[in-house]
Amino acid sequence: MDPQRYAELFRSESREQLSEINRALLDLERAPGDVQPVTVLFRAVHTLKGMSATMGYTAVAAFAHELESLLDRVRNGEQGISAELMDVLFSAVDVLETGVDRAVDGMADAPGSADVLEQMRHVTGGGATAEFRALTGEYRAATAATAATAADMVAPVSAAGTAAAMAAAMAAPGSLDDGPGVLVRVRQSPDTMLPGVRAFLVIQKVRELGEIVAVSPPLAELQAAEVPQAFAFRLVTALSPAEIEKAVVAAGDVEHVEVSAGRGRQRAPVRMGALDEAASPVQKGTRHVRIELARLDTLMNLIGELVIARGRLMQLTAGHGDAALDEVMTQTGRLVGTLQGEIMASRMVPVWQVFDRFPRLVRDAARQLHKEIDFTVEGKEIELDRSLLDEIGEPVVHLLRNAVDHGIEAPEVRETHGKPRVGRLTLSASRERSAVLVRVRDDGRGIDRARVLARAKELGMVGADVARLDDDLLFRVIAAPGFSTAAVVSDLSGRGVGIDAVQARVRQLGGTVEMETEPGRGTTITLRLPQTLAIVRAVLATVGGERYALPLTHVRETLAWSPEAVQRVQGKEVLVLRDEVLPLLHLREVVRAPGVHADSADIVVLERGARRAGLVVDELTGQQDIVVKQFDGARDGLALFSGATILADGRPALIVDVGSLL
């Protein structure tokens, strides 16, 4: 087998296992007496070990084997749970994660693996196992021996007395015809990538359901397979055939599953080994296909251009009076819209794919600062565009670190203020119309407005006559480049780049940042993001002959100019709308367009969270799906636009960043 052919798939699968390992470690640390996290840990490490051995990454497989041995001691009650053990386990997982990436990239062993192995030896009071010494020493000198021993390593680990019986059953495929339990036959999909690893994952998944007493072909042979397989096993379980089938299919790349009690109840013979190319038509088609993100990006770019072309074509054919042409254009528009929706939906992924790595980050930061924090993640099922989800990871890391370092107090300080020793930190995702809100909320000390105000005056950021900072001005000060009130620069924060970096990145993504804080009660920072970066619905407005796009996400309603609705308060124009007084802005003045205000105008009521304002434009020309094109702002230009687009008539328009107005 050529490992490089499946290297990226292995990396992806391994990250899923590592994520599960980290979650289980956090659960174990919170509840040391719970056996379930240990079971999950053992199973995930064992799976990762088998996958690594199948790929020929013996250094990763060897380290995973040693970690598995330590977890086996914990599972059997020979090793107690302690803070020292947990630190070693977390360090070991870090080595595994680094080792996976280095192995895929063709690099040497993960740095620090020997030190962590020594820590594991110290915790257990023993030395490295014979298997580990062989794998890290002799295997590097003998390639043939490596392959043989790696296959031995991934043999199933069972309770005492069961391993020998299982090995004998595996060596005798004929024993599947009769025996305890049910007979399960599995056929992999013809396009299965990494079939040996996938078959191994099926076996691991089924072990959660009961006891496997026989496998055919033998597991070592099955794992070494380079072509999709048909295989079978006998399973002793109390679950129904439907539940068994569901678990097998969940392992992925399974085309057909058949569960029967014995020879007499088999519906169709399945040949063991490689799939027969002349096999009968499949009963269940492949439900999932892995695809590179670059291809989805290309599809999104193409559908964006198609949307522009559709708008241009509909404008050119409008008013021709040809019923047949109008019908074709209507159908074309509908098909393009459906295609656009399907492509956008194919790019949407749940936020847990990024959020799952944050509990470990918060745990490590809290231990470094000697704080006790209960971290909760909510709304994991909310979906975002894949490219946007990749971009929000860094801003969220900044916010979480700031909350741990500056927001939540030390346990002793919290007790003196009548608070629980354990601080609460919440990361949540929710949907609001066409936007997604990502919130980081803590119950810490809040932001010291007086301290920030004093520092802002010292730096000349606000006037000497300013007596208090409201939430809006407070955030503007904190988000200024380089601003920090930290007396000491730590590994986590204090350099004045956190909030500034968050705001800059979120604005690049077409979103906004909002903050609420209350002394002694905590701080909440909200990232308001579009669901996708590529295509958005927008209201089109003109000022001085130029056209601008206002994302519909921030448009509450539109009004015609009315002298009765516009008044002056303290010398400034305001909009009186249903007993609500809103500040009034003129887009002509904002963009510094020449000319004077038109006699007749339209007003767009904009909103961003709880903030609202009226924006006066010369004319509204309708709504349109626009394709967002990012661009670098002109030097000394206005920081007012989040991108540009091409309208239906082929002319460009700038997209207004509403966050810069409110």
579 confidence band (pLDDT: 50, 70, 90): confident
Q: What's the whole-number mean pLDDT along residues 140-148? A: 36
Same domain, 11 and 149: yes
Type of residue at 545: G
Q: Are residues 521 and 539 in the same domain?
A: no
526 inside domain: yes
CA distances to 54, 544, 553, 618 from 596, rounded to whole Å, are 74, 9, 29, 10
Task: Report the C-alpha gap between 166 and 291 in whole angstroms.
Answer: 38
Q: Which residue has the higher pLDDT, 412 or 291?
A: 412
Signed CA dihedral, 504, 507, 511, 516: sign only = positive
Q: Does residue 356 belong to any structural domain of this protein?
A: no
Q: pLDDT tens, 319-343?
A: 788 888 888 988 998 999 899 888 8
DSSP structure class, residue 377 = E
Q: Which amino acid is at 511?
A: G
Q: In the prediction, which pLDDT does 604 show?
A: 92
Question: Looking at 533-588, which runs of residues are DSSP E strands?
Answer: 535-543, 546-551, 555-560, 566-569, 572-577, 580-586
DSSP state of 156: P
**Residue 525: what pLDDT?**
93
Q: Are the CB atoms for 329 and 335 separated by under 8 Å?
A: no
CATH (domain of 474):
3.30.565.10
Burial string for 432-459 (b: 16+ CB within 10 Å, else e) reads eeebbbbbbbbbbbbbebeebbebbeee
Give the span between the Cα atoms of 470 and 449, in whole angstroms.
9
- Among candidate residues 107, 127, 153, the one where a domain is terminated: 153
Query: What is the per-residue pLDDT across 6-26, written as a single tens digit (0 to 9) for each?
Result: 787 788 888 888 988 999 999
Nearest in space to 509 (alpha carbons), one of 646, 636, 637, 643: 643
Q: Which helix (H) or strand (E) holds 186?
A: strand 182-188
Query: Residue 280 falls within a domain, yes or no?
Result: no
Give 514's strand partners.
526
Q: State the CB neighbour count (10 A cutoff) for residue 97.
A: 18
Do 597 and 508 lie in one domain? The reply is no
Q: What 8-state DSSP symbol labels residue 5?
A: G
CATH number at residue 559: 2.40.50.180
Residue 78 has pLDDT above 60, yes or no: yes
Q: Are 169 and 29 part of one and the same domain?
A: no
Query: What is the average pLDDT value for the chain, to the nearest integer?
Result: 79
Report the CATH number that the domain containing residue 139 is assigned in CATH: 1.20.120.160
Residue 178 belongs to domain with CATH number: 3.30.70.1110
CB 391 within 8 A of CB 440: no
Lowest-confidence pick of 195-204, 422-431, 436-445, 613-622: 195-204
Question: What distance in Å separates the CA atoms of residue 60 and residue 135, rounded to the nearest whole number?
Answer: 10
pLDDT at 32: 87
User: Which pLDDT value is given to residue 634?
Assistant: 55
C-alpha–C-alpha distance, residues 21 and 67, integer Å? 12
The share of the chain scoring above pLDDT 70, in percent, equals 82
pLDDT recorded at residue 415 = 94
Residues 488 and 572 in one domain: no
Cis peptide upstream of residue 217 (ω within 30 degrees of 0): yes
Q: Is 105 helix (H, G, I), strand (E, B) or coil?
A: coil
Predicted local confidence at residue 148, as pLDDT: 41
Give the ranges where 212-322 is alpha helix by DSSP (H).
219-223, 241-250, 293-317
For 517, phi then psi, to 5°, come to -145, 145
Residue 415 burial (CB count, 10 A): 12
Same domain, 81 and 193: no
* pLDDT for the residue numbered 615: 92
CB 73 within 8 A of CB 79: yes
The answer to the question of residue 222 being in a domain is yes
Partners of 253 in beta bridges: none
Task: Give the pLDDT confidence score for residue 262 in this predicted structure.
Answer: 57
Residue 478 falls inside a structural domain: yes
Token representation of residue 68? 């598995």
What is the average pLDDT across 544-554?
88
How confident is the model over 526-534, as a mean pLDDT? 81
Q: What is the pLDDT of residues 347-391, one digit of tens each?
A: 888 998 889 889 999 999 999 999 999 999 999 889 888 888 888
Residues 516 and 560 in one domain: no
By residue range, what is the domain housing residue 486? 361-530
Query: What is the CA angle 199-201-207, rounded to 5?
Result: 110
Query: pLDDT band at residue 186, thresholds of 50, 70 and 90?
Result: very high
Residue 369 lies in a domain: yes
Is the domain of 492 the same as that of 366? yes
State the pLDDT at residue 144: 36
Q: Is residue 414 part of a domain?
A: yes
Of 624, 629, 623, which Cα lies nearest the Cα of 641? 629
Same domain, 119 and 35: yes
Decide: helix, strand or coil at residue 498: helix
Q: Is residue 622 part of a domain?
A: yes
Tokens coding 653: 């328009």
598 falls in which pLDDT band (50, 70, 90)?
Answer: low
pLDDT, greater one: 30 or 143: 30
Nearest CA among 509, 519, 479 for reference residue 399: 479
Last residue of some domain: 497, 530, 563? 530
| DSSP-derived 3-state class of residue 500 | helix
Of the listed ranges 200-204, 279-283, 353-357, 581-585, the least confidently predicted one is 279-283
Distance CA 539, CA 109 (A): 55
**β-pairing verdict for 652-656 and 546-551:** parallel
148-157, 377-386, 402-411: range with lowest mean pLDDT: 148-157
At which residue do the structure tokens 């999932």 appear?
288
Residue 116 CB partners (closer than 8 Å, separation 6+)? 88, 91, 92, 95
Q: Is the pLDDT of residue 394 over 50?
A: yes
Same domain, 146 and 16: yes
Give the pLDDT band (50/70/90) at residue 550: very high
Alpha-carbon distances, residue 209 vs 247, 258, 324, 369 (angstroms)? 8, 16, 61, 42
| Distance spanning both ends of the chain, measured CA to CA | 59
Single-letter amino acid, residue 163: A
Residues classed as catalytic: 46, 68, 402
| pLDDT for residue 494 is more than 80 | no
Other CB atoms within 10 A of residue 273 CB: 15
Domain boundary (247, 274, 301) is at 274
Query: From residue 183, how far is each of 49, 139, 270, 289, 514 by CA, in Å?
Result: 27, 38, 12, 28, 58
Give how many domains the chain has, as a whole number: 5
Structure tokens at 169: 């059953």
Which range (115-129, 229-243, 484-498) has the least confidence?
Answer: 484-498
DSSP letter for 640, please: T
Whole-number pLDDT of residue 561: 82
pLDDT at 526 over 60: yes
> Which is nearest to 265 in space by CA: 342, 182, 141, 358?
182
pTM of the predicted protein model: 0.66
Read off the pLDDT of residues 628-641 as tens digits, 9 standing for 90 and up.
877 665 555 566 88
Same domain for 487 and 450, yes or no, is yes
Return the CATH number at 337: 1.10.287.560
pLDDT of residue 408: 94
Same domain, 255 and 194: yes
**Residue 173 pLDDT:** 41
Q: What own/partner pairs with CB < 8 Å and gap ≥ 24 does 107-114 have?
A: 108/59, 109/59, 109/136, 110/59, 110/63, 113/59, 113/63
